């Protein structure tokens, strides 16, 4: 399993939590957590995203729309479709 695949799976898992939070306050906190963990220039688990995607997410971070991470999800999903989770 490649490092990029692990990061992608963790990111997608965190996004599932983002969509299930009960209030806008929790959603904002989780959006910032996801941004800092995966998208920020100094993220601990950086994702292979276009700079325009990173900028767009940063620009809308405070308004936390449900579509905030849609483009990032599309970009990293291609990593999963091109990767093999298990090698024999």
- Kindly write down the DSSP assignment for every residue of 14-54, as one continuous string: HHHHHHH-SSHHHHHHHHHHHIIIIISTT-SS-----HHHH
* pLDDT higher than threshold 80 for residue 81: no
CB 31 within 8 A of CB 64: yes
The reported pLDDT for the residue numbered 25 is 92
pLDDT at 83 over 60: no
Torsion angle in degrees (nearest 10) through CA of 49, 67, 73, 14: 110
Mean pLDDT of the residues in the chain: 88
Q: What is the pTM of this model?
A: 0.85
- Indicate the pLDDT class of residue 59, thresholds 50, 70 and 90: very high
Two tokens, residue 76: 């990293």
The yes-or-no verdict on residue 52 having pLDDT over 80 is yes
> Span 5-19, mean pLDDT?
91
Radius of gyration from C-alpha coordinates of the chain:
13
């Amino acid at each position: 399993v490649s490092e990029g695949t692990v990061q992608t799976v963790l990111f997608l898992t965190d996004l599932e939590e983002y969509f299930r939070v009960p209030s806008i306050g929790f959603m904002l906190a989780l959006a910032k957590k996801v941004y800092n963990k995966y998208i920020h220039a100094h993220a601990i688990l950086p994702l292979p995203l276009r700079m325009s995607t990173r900028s767009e997410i940063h620009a809308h971070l405070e308004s936390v729309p449900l579509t905030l991470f849609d483009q990032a999800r599309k970009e990293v999903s291609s990593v999963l479709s091109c990767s093999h989770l298990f090698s024999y």
